A and B are shown apart, each in its own frame.
Chain A
Amino acid sequence: MISIANLTKTYASGLQALKRVDLDIRKGEIFALLGPNGAGKTTLISIVCGIVTPSTGEVRVDGHDILREYRATRSRIGLVPQELHTDMFETVWSTVAFSRGLFGCAPNAAHLEKVLRDLSLWDRRHHKIMTLSGGMKRRVLIAKALSHEPQVLFLDEPTAGVDVELRRDMWGLVRKLRESGVTIILTTHYIDEAEEMADRIGVINKGELIMVEEKAKLMKKLGKKQLTVHLVEPLARLPEALGEWNLALKNDGSDLEYNFNEKDEHTGIPELLRRLGDLGLEFKDLETRESSLEDIFVSLVSERA
């Protein structure tokens, strides 16, 4: 549905926000773009939508070039921006009707009513946007993006600043849209959100698309945890009897570090602790932590190198 080839973007400031990105997004899938602040997610989306001009590379939407055939590509796309940019004095209804017209569609009150009802905005259709709460403003932006029945929907951090209930509603809506054949691309900082929603996940960091994987495969790679055992007596080296675990000695031998995957059925932790007892290695504390997104990027980048 969307094919991106060799896309780079260097802003006027000289900052390179995207580095030779290649990506194909399939028709009808939910694709999550996962990355930390400043990774280039919004830049990538903005280029596809026509808000930012690419420095090099080519982007096609449904076979049409985004620059030469912008009418064909843009009329197929709906965008929900990251920031809450809305008109203040317009009513919900008029702003949604405006969007539909702007994207070249004839008025269709029935469709707008359906969109507003789906987003629980119908009762507020005559309210001015400035009187709505932040979460409702975000729904208005979604309604605007859906007003012209797009085939592709971009959601730039749809759940930022959104409460749990609305978040669940939003995920439900996204699934419903997918069932109707809409291709959905969303960005997020959160692994669990990507896991909950997406069919495939692309990981982006510092302008580089590090990997694109089916969700299940990626989750295996991402679901890493770390167990640290603080020993009473430091060890000079790892005892051979602990060889079957992937262990490392840290902190001058007073910490044992064990990396494991929480998605594995068999983590080997009970056996490890039993073995430590058998060997007479006493410990004063245990600590586990999930690898942060940052750790994961570091390990993914180093894996590739």
Chain B
Amino acid sequence: MNRHGVLAIYRFEMARFRRTFWQSLVTPVITTSLYFVVFGAAIGSRMREVDGVPYGAFIVPGLIMLSIFTESLNNASFGIYLPKFTGTIYELLSAPVSALETVLAYVGAAATKSMLLGLVILATSALFVPIQILHPAWMIAFLVLTSATFCLFGFMIGIWATGFEQLQFIPMLVITPLTFLGGAFYSIDMLPPAWRTVSLFNPVVYLISGFRWSFYGTSDVSVELSLAMTLGFFAACLVGVSWIFRTGYRLKS
């Protein structure tokens, strides 16, 4: 195990984040506040409670997840795309680090940042609505797993992408709609039965539902199913990434 190598990459990535620290914190804090103004105050005041939770508080887990998804994808994909773009990847490819170590370092750094961000949004939300976390250990577990999964996914996008517009493509076209339709702002039980069934094909539903359960103890689908699905996505991404490194796909000619 090349411990120094993993640490070097991890620190390098964290330093890169630190350079844009304020932008990356201010943006989500403002966005979250806006959501609360719009959904919490304006619309939320006319909404009933959802599953016994005030609407403003109900949307908090979904908001955090939404940011985790996009931030994880952006950070991880950019982290590996940048050295490909500037050519500095030659050093990584010629270094005595294994595929696993590379992924650990890049994904670890990106996931660290996503989780920090998630916690910042949580703290911001607490300023607007009363928040309750019934199962803190599970909350952290879902946070870690989801961040890691989406960072792995982002890592694959970064390797696959051959241009900057492709980096934005999947987050914009796939993840954002899936999140909005995945129960970030409502319980899928509020949908007509047909749409509820369709929603169950949306993987994001399981992630948000499990995360929300760790806050309020209520969920759209069973917690076990959420956990199983989350682990499943994580495993699928791991398989994808290891395939990339085994074949050198888009990394080596």
A contacts, CB < 8 Å to B: 11-12, 49-53, 70-72, 74-75, 77, 79, 81, 83, 85-90, 94, 97-107, 144
Asked if residues A83 and B94 are in contact (CB atoms below 8 Å), the reply is: no
Q: For B8, give the chain A residue with the smallest CB separation.
A: A101
Does B86 sit within 8 A of A, measured CB to CB? yes
The A interface is mostly helix, strand or loop, or mixed, namely loop
Q: How many A-B residue pairs have CB under 8 A?
A: 81
Within 8 Å by CB of B88, from A70, A71, A85, A105, lies A85
A residues less than 8 Å from B11 (CB atoms): 98, 101
Asked if residues A104 and B5 are in contact (CB atoms below 8 Å), the reply is: yes
Q: For A89, give the chain B residue with the smallest CB separation.
A: B19
Bound Cα distance A81, B93 (Å): 12
B69-102 CB contact bits vs A (8 Å, 1 = yes)? 0000000000000000011101111111110000
Asked if residues B94 and A101 are in contact (CB atoms below 8 Å), the reply is: no
A-B contact pairs, 14 of them (CB 8 A): A49-B93, A49-B94, A52-B252, A75-B96, A79-B94, A81-B87, A81-B90, A83-B87, A85-B91, A90-B12, A100-B8, A101-B8, A102-B97, A104-B4
Does B253 sit within 8 A of A, measured CB to CB? yes
Task: Say whether, besides A51-B93, A74-B96, A102 and B8 are in contact (CB < 8 Å).
Answer: yes
Q: For B251, give the chain A residue with the smallest CB separation.
A: A51
B residues less than 8 Å from A94 (CB atoms): 15
Asked if residues B4 and A105 are in contact (CB atoms below 8 Å), the reply is: yes
B residues less than 8 Å from A88 (CB atoms): 86
Does B248 sit within 8 A of A, measured CB to CB? yes
Does B166 sit within 8 A of A, measured CB to CB? no
Asked if residues A99 and B15 are in contact (CB atoms below 8 Å), the reply is: no
Asked if residues B96 and A51 are in contact (CB atoms below 8 Å), the reply is: no
Bound Cα distance A24, B94 (Å): 21
Asked if residues B87 and A53 are in contact (CB atoms below 8 Å), the reply is: no
